[in-house]
């Protein structure tokens, strides 16, 4: 009790010893504890059990009113003032109409509850900035202040599920526990599908209602249910019931309808606010993740004499699953070029991409052969990723002096080797994508990049980009553009490929991450080699 944060019981700071009641909530710092005694009320529960058949009709002596849904509160108030709200009431069974005596009219007028006053009270009570959970609890408390009910439940729709968020007994408020809530399917359908408010009186005496076990088991006699709605969307329901000797009246239904109509505005605002806050939190986390991922990519390719290098990656979402890298081996100054494409998109792919980055960086500095390196990367990815995730990976080790390229391709799009002489090669040798099987073996091959040759390494987001006519860009167009611009610098060739791709795709949305690497051996290297040989 002497701490700076303090301890709270049901929102009030604790100043001394207190005895807990079932349903009390104790908050200590960020931790909230709910107390339940052994004799806790069985009235509440997070699970809804619908009884009765899908086509069941409401019993006789049932009153339904048209829902106000999400209309503005001032419209509700004007209807209450004019008395037109009572005109929406219809009886499913015709009743004899009798002319009341004058003294009965006066008694009714004196006893009629002030609906406008209820609107004001509910509006003021729900005015403070509270959480959605607190708003729901306050709403059900206000219901019990205005209506003589024995128990009540507030439900919200979560997807296709109807979930009990708050339960309340006449003796004390209770919180959802493990016991289920049984309500009539016919009532639920009427409220949630049609947006109607329902009052069922003397249900036990109606033979059509006897088959609906929720009423029979609980020995209920009177039930009211009204929707929680915003515009045309019905997002929840308030359900109240009572015993036969304390049956609800049509006046009670109007009061419950009024409370629900005003509370719907506040509840919907709190739902939207929490959704916005959650969306903002996710956006901030994605922004941080994107910044971290950008740092994993090379800021600039290494500056190696006689070589021209560039790379670029564009995620189709905030964060991507493509990985590319230029790594200089410390022991012998050889150049490692790697490009990987993680299956899937989004956060999961980005996390696996980070693991791939770490594995490639670590293995590239070992003296192992490329086939051994690929085997170790495969083992690491297999052991540290879900079974339905894998990575296609191209890994190459380049000797800058001789132009020798030793590579292995683990199921990746074959990089294109464009020779100055006009020949085109595809680097396909390797094995399965990494992470598919624990003991996969990988072969390695060697080629030599002569001065003027260009190696184009790319992810399938490049070749499989589609235009509005659903045509793929394809490898043929990529080779054609690269061949036409072979004499350009690496960055110049990259720009020409990007330009051709943008022109082809047009306004079509990207379908995958796009990554491109250009490795070019300068044509000037030949004259330098010849000059060194002459010397």
CATH code for position 515: 3.60.40.10
Token duo for residue 312: 């670029």
User: What is the chain's length?
Assistant: 535
Task: Give the confidence band of 499 by pLDDT, cuts at 50, 70, 90.
Answer: very high
Number of domains in the chain: 3
In a domain, 333, yes or no: yes
Please check the confidence at residue 267 and state whether its pLDDT lies above 70: yes
What's the CA gap between 251 and 502, in Å, rounded? 66
pLDDT of residue 496: 95
Least confident of 58-72, 344-358, 450-464: 58-72
Question: At CA 168, angle to CA 204 and CA 222, rounded to 5?
Answer: 15
Q: Return the higher-pLDDT residue of 479 and 513.
A: 479
pLDDT in tens, 364-415: 989 899 999 999 999 999 988 888 889 999 999 999 999 999 999 999 999 9
Mean pLDDT to the nearest integer, 275-279 = 78
User: Do residue 154 and residue 137 come from a single domain?
Assistant: yes
Token duo for residue 231: 């515009």
Please check the confidence at residue 125 and state whether its pLDDT lies above 80: no
User: Do residue 36 and residue 49 come from a single domain?
Assistant: no
pLDDT in tens, 154-178: 998 887 788 888 888 755 544 444 4
Mean pLDDT to the nearest integer, 479-506 = 93
pLDDT of residue 45: 40
Please check the confidence at residue 311 and state whether its pLDDT lies above 90: yes
What's the CA gap between 477 and 277, in Å, rounded? 45
According to DSSP H, which parts of 83-131 are helical? 102-111, 115-125
User: Do residue 385 and residue 415 come from a single domain?
Assistant: yes
User: Do residue 254 and residue 323 come from a single domain?
Assistant: no
User: Do residue 322 and residue 249 come from a single domain?
Assistant: no
pLDDT of residue 289: 67
pLDDT of residue 426: 95
Q: Return the higher-pLDDT residue of 98 and 288.
A: 288
In order of 194, 347, 384, 504, the CA distances from 355 in angstroms are 52, 13, 8, 34
pLDDT of residue 64: 62
Please check the confidence at residue 446 and state whether its pLDDT lies above 80: yes
In a domain, 289, yes or no: no
pLDDT of residue 181: 59
In a domain, 282, yes or no: no
pLDDT of residue 211: 52
pLDDT of residue 404: 95
Spatial contact of 340 and 413, defined as CB atoms under 8 Å apart? no
Please check the confidence at residue 140 and state whether its pLDDT lies above 60: yes
User: Do residue 144 and residue 270 come from a single domain?
Assistant: yes
Least confident of 71-80, 361-370, 498-507: 71-80
What's the CA gap between 2 and 195, in Å, rounded? 51
3-state secondary structure (DSSP) of residue 130? coil
Among 46-60, 182-196, 356-370, name the most confident range. 356-370
Q: Which domain holds residue 87?
A: 43-96+111-276
pLDDT of residue 108: 47
pLDDT of residue 43: 39
Domain's final residue, options 276, 309, 344: 276
In a domain, 103, yes or no: no
Least confident of 99-113, 271-285, 364-378, 468-482: 99-113
CATH assignment of the domain containing 127: 3.30.450.40
Please check the confidence at residue 453 and state whether its pLDDT lies above 90: yes
Among 99-103, 276-280, 527-531, name the most confident range. 276-280
User: Do residue 333 and residue 184 come from a single domain?
Assistant: no
User: Do residue 116 and residue 261 come from a single domain?
Assistant: yes
Q: Return the higher-pLDDT residue of 32 and 483.
A: 483
In a domain, 511, yes or no: yes
How many other CB atoms are there within 10 angstroms of residue 322's CB atom?
28
| Helix-strand-coil split of the chain, %, nearest 5 | 35, 25, 40
In a domain, 260, yes or no: yes
User: Do residue 115 and residue 252 come from a single domain?
Assistant: yes
pLDDT in tens, 204-218: 444 444 555 554 444
Mean pLDDT to the nearest integer, 54-71 = 54
Q: What average pLDDT does the chain have?
A: 77
User: Do residue 31 and residue 61 come from a single domain?
Assistant: no
Picking from 109, 162, 164, 120, the residue whose alpha carbon sits closest to that of residue 142 is: 120
Please check the confidence at residue 530 and state whether its pLDDT lies above 60: no
Task: Give the confidence band of 476 by pLDDT, cuts at 50, 70, 90.
Answer: very high
In a domain, 284, yes or no: no
Task: Give the confidence band of 458 by pLDDT, cuts at 50, 70, 90.
Answer: very high
User: Do residue 344 and residue 386 come from a single domain?
Assistant: yes
pLDDT in tens, 280-304: 877 777 677 667 667 777 888 999 9
Please check the confidence at residue 197 and state whether its pLDDT lies above 90: no
User: Do residue 425 and residue 526 come from a single domain?
Assistant: yes
Please check the confidence at residue 49 and state whether its pLDDT lies above 70: no
How many other CB atoms are there within 10 angstroms of residue 294's CB atom?
12
In a domain, 91, yes or no: yes
Task: Give the confidence band of 89 by pLDDT, cuts at 50, 70, 90.
Answer: very low
Task: Give the confidence band of 432 by pLDDT, cuts at 50, 70, 90.
Answer: very high
Please check the confidence at residue 494 and state whether its pLDDT lies above 80: yes
């Amino acid at each position: 009790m002497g701490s700076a944060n303090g301890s709270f019981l049901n929102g009030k700071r604790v100043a001394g010893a207190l005895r807990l009641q079932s349903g009390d909530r104790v908050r200590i710092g960020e931790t909230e504890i709910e107390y339940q005694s052994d004799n806790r009320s069985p009235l509440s529960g997070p699970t809804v059990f619908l009884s009765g058949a899908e086509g069941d009709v409401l019993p006789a002596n049932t009153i339904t009113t048209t829902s106000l849904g999400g209309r503005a509160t001032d419209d509700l108030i004007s209807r209450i003032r004019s008395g037109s709200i009572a005109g929406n009431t219809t009886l499913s069974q015709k009743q004899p109409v009798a002319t009341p005596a004058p003294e009965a009219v006066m008694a009714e007028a004196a006893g009629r509850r002030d609906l406008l006053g209820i609107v004001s009270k509910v509006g003021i009570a729900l005015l403070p900035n509270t959480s959605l959970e607190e708003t729901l609890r306050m709403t059900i408390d206000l219901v019990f202040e205005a209506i003589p009910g024995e128990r009540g439940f507030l439900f919200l729709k979560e997807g296709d599920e109807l979930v009990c968020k708050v339960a309340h007994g006449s003796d004390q408020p209770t919180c959802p526990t493990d016991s289920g809530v049984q309500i009539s399917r016919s009532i639920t359908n009427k409220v949630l599908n049609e947006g109607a408010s329902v009052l069922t009186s003397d249900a036990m005496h109606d033979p059509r209602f006897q088959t609906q076990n929720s009423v029979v088991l609980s020995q209920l006699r009177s039930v009211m249910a009204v929707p929680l709605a915003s515009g045309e969307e019905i997002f929840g329901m308030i359900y109240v019931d009572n015993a036969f000797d304390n049956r609800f009246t049509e006046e009670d239904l109007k009061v419950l309808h009024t409370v629900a109509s005003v509370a719907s505005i506040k509840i919907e605002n709190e739902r939207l606010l929490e959704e916005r806050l959650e969306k903002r939190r996710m956006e901030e986390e994605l922004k941080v993740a994107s910044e971290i991922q950008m740092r994993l990519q090379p800021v600039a390719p290494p500056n190696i004499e006689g070589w021209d290098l560039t790379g670029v990656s564009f995620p189709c979402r905030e964060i991507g699953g493509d990985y590319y890298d230029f790594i200089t081996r410390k022991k012998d100054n050889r150049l490692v070029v790697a490009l990987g494409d993680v299956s899937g998109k989004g956060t999961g792919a980005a996390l696996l991409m980070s693991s791939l980055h770490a594995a490639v960086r670590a293995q590239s500095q070992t003296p192992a052969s490329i086939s051994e390196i690929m085997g170790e990367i495969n083992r690491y990815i297999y052991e540290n990723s879900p079974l339905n995730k894998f990575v296609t990976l191209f890994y190459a080790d380049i000797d800058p002096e001789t132009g020798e390229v030793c590579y292995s391709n683990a199921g990746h799009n074959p990089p294109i080797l464009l020779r100055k002489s006009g020949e085109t090669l595809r680097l396909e040798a390797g094995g399965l994508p990494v992470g598919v099987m624990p003991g996969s073996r990988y072969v390695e091959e060697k080629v030599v990049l002569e001065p003027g040759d260009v190696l184009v390494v790319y992810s399938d987001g490049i070749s499989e980009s589609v235009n509005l006519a659903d045509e793929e860009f394809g490898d043929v167009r990529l080779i054609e553009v690269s061949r036409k611009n072979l004499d350009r610098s690496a960055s110049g060739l990259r720009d020409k490929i990007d330009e051709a791709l943008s022109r082809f795709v047009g306004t079509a949305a990207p379908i995958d991450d796009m990554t491109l690497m250009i490795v070019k051996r300068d044509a000037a290297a030949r004259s330098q080699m010849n000059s060194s040989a002459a010397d």
